[in-house]
Each structure stands twice: as structure tokens, then as C-alpha cells.
Chains A and B, each alone.
Chain A
């Protein structure tokens, strides 16, 4: 069966520091991969999606970037974190219409 992992679960980082959040999927090949941010009171916002290795599409301009170095690995990064980057980051995968979500990473930028 398919599983999706995210780490770390929680992260506290100072403003201006770099960021790397990792997401991996098991049990499927060539999945569509997504990064969402869940901000308080604002629901889920799609940040990036990827249809294949090295193929990244950005939905909103921001301080973040994404990469897909392997078929089942999706990384969310930043060179310098901002206070506004705080939030709950969710990775998801799909092979059809349904998306399956990871456990999420809570990021607090101080």
C-alpha cells in the first residue's frame, strides 16, 4: 500500500535561516506531488506541484522553492525564512483525482 512521510514533524527556526522540508512517497510510481500551506483561518493554499522529476510548478509567488530530485521525493526549501513563512506545511500525492496527505510539518519562524 502507498504511504507518504514528512519530516520533521515540528520545526522552530530563526528569521533568515534556511529551510528544508522533505516528503517521500512509497508504494507508487510517477505520482503527482504537491506542497500546501495551511495558515490559521485561511485553509489550504497550494504552493507547488510536480508531475515528474525536475518538473516543478509554482502557484503563488513567495519566499519558498521546491525540488523533486527523485520520483518519490519532494523537497520544500527556503534560503532565508521570513516570519510570514510560519504555518503548517502539508505534502500530498495523487495518481488520479484523489489526493493523499502526509502528516504535515509545523513550522514556527521566530
Chain B
């Protein structure tokens, strides 16, 4: 069965410090991975997906199939990056459609 693990519940860094939010997955198929973010008092929203290989708000994430990881990184954290971050794995359902399996989330606190 598929599984997404985010080992850190809370990550606290100072402004300007590098950030790495860890995500590991297990899935027998070809993985498609996402990072979702939920800022305070806002909806859960897509941050980035691995297939687009894009950088959003300075964040990047590289899929490492050997280590089954999809860690989220940013070289210099900003206070506005403080939020709850969820790693998610897209998997096929019985109907052929796809659904997301989420990790338990990591709260990032960026201190001034």
C-alpha cells in the first residue's frame, strides 16, 4: 500500500536560514508527488508538483527514486513561509482515477 511519511511535525528556523522539509514515500507504481501548503487562515493549496520541475516562492523539490524521497527545500527562509506543509502522493484508484495520499504534515516556523 502507498504511504507518505513526513518525520518532522515542527521545523523552526531563523529568517535567512536554509530550509529542508523531509518527505519519504512508498509506492509500487510510478510515483507522482506534490507539496501542498496551508497558510494561517487560508485554504490548503498546491505549492508544487514534481513533474513540472518548477520553483514556486523559492521552493524546489527533487524526486529521488533511489531514496524514495521528495524533500522540499528553500535556500533562504522568509517569515511569510511559516505554514503547514503537506507532501502528497498521487495513486491510482480502482476506477482508474487518481487520488492523493497525504503525509501528516510539517509545520514550518520562521522566526525573525
Q: For the complex, is A99 an interface residue (Cβ under 8 Å from B)? A: yes
Q: How far is the CA of A20 from the CA of B94 in the complex (A)?
A: 27
Smallest beta-carbon distance A34→chain B, Å: 7
- Please, which residues of chain A bring their CB within 8 A of the CB of B101? 46
Judge whether B44 and A101 touch: CB under 8 Å: yes
Contact flag A98-B97 (CB < 8 Å), given A41-B9, A43-B103, A43-B104? no
B90, B95, B105: the one within 8 Å of A97 (CB): B90
Which chain A positions have C-beta within 8 A of B86? Answer: 43-44
Number of interface residues of B (CB under 8 A): 24
Minimum C-beta distance from A26 to chain B (A): 15
Residues of A within 8 A of B102 (CB): 36, 43-46
B100: Cβ under 8 A from any A Cβ: yes
Q: Which B positions have Cβ atoms within 8 angstroms of A?
A: 6, 9, 32, 34, 43-46, 49, 51, 86, 90, 93-95, 97-105
Q: When the two chains form their complex, are residues B32 and A49 in contact, meaning their CB atoms are under 8 A apart?
A: no
Which residues of B sit under 8 angstroms from A99, Cβ to Cβ? 46, 100
Decide if B98 touches A97 in the complex (CB within 8 Å). Answer: yes
Nearest-Cβ distance from residue A104 to partner chain B, whole angstroms: 8
Whole-angstrom distance between the Cβ of A85 and the nearest chain B Cβ:
19
Interface centre among A32, A41, A43, A46 (most CB of B within 10 A): A43
Chain A residues within 8 Å of B99, by CB: 32, 34, 46, 49
Mask: chain A, 10-46; 1 = CB below 8 Å from B; 0 = not:
0000000000000000000000101010000111111
